[in-house]
Chain A
C-alpha cells in the first residue's frame, strides 16, 4: 500500500516569501501526483497535477517530481494570507485508490 508522508507539519511564512512543501511516497510505480488545498472544514481544490519527472507550473504554484527519490514538492510563489490552508499531497495509479498525506498547515502572515 502506498504511504504518503508530508513535511513540515506546519509552516509559517511572511507574505511574499516563497513557501516550500515536501511529500515523499513509498511506491515509485505510481504515476499521478497532485497537490490539493483545503481551507478549514471545506472541500479540497486541486492546485497542480504532475505525471512525469520535472517541473509543472500552475500560476503561483509549482510542483517538482523526482520519482527516483520518491519525492514531490510544492513551491508557492508570493504567498498571500488567503493561501493559509492545509496542503495535501495525493498519489494514485488508476482510478481505484488514492492516497493522501496528512497535510502541511500553511500560515501566511501579512
Chain B
C-alpha cells in the first residue's frame, strides 16, 4: 500500500531563518507531487507541482522553492522565512491516467513563524 509521510509535523521558526519541509511517498512509482499551503482560516493554495525527478513547476510565488531530488521525495524550502509563511503545508501525490485528478494528501506540517 502506498504511504505518504511529511516531516516535520510542526515547526516554530524565527523570521529570517531557513526552512526545509519534506515529503516522501512510498509504494508508488513516478507519482505527480504537489505542495499546498493553507493559511489559518484560508483557502488551500497550490504552490508547486512536479511530474518527474528534477523538474518542478511553480504555481504561486511565495518566496519559497521546491525540489524533487528523488522520484519519491519532494522538498519545500526557503532561506529566509517571512511572517506570512505561517500556516499549514500539505504534500500530495496523484497518478496520470486512471482517475486523474485524485489527490492523496499527507498529514501536513504546521509552521509558525515568529
Binding site for B on A (CB under 8 A): 32, 34, 36, 41-46, 49, 88, 90, 92-103
Question: What residue of chain B has the Cβ atom nearest to residue A30's Cβ?
Answer: B101
Interface of A (DSSP majority class): strand
Contact present for B46 and A46 (CB under 8 Å)? no
Number of B residues whose C-beta is below 8 Å from A?
27
Question: What residue of chain A has the Cβ atom nearest to residue B104's Cβ?
Answer: A46
Contact present for A44 and B90 (CB under 8 Å)? yes
Contact present for A98 and B105 (CB under 8 Å)? no
A-B contact pairs, 11 of them (CB 8 A): A32-B101, A41-B88, A43-B105, A43-B108, A44-B92, A49-B99, A49-B102, A88-B44, A96-B49, A99-B46, A102-B43
Contact present for A101 and B43 (CB under 8 Å)? yes
A92 to nearest B CB, angstroms? 5
Mark contacts of B34-56 with chain A using CB atoms, 8 A cut-off: 1 yes-contact digit, 0 otherwise: 10000000111110010100000
Contact present for B43 and A98 (CB under 8 Å)? no
Question: What residue of chain A has the Cβ atom nearest to residue B34's Cβ?
Answer: A98
Report A-chain residues with C-beta under 8 Å of the C-beta of B108. 41-43
Query: Does B15 belong to the interface (CB within 8 Å)?
Result: no
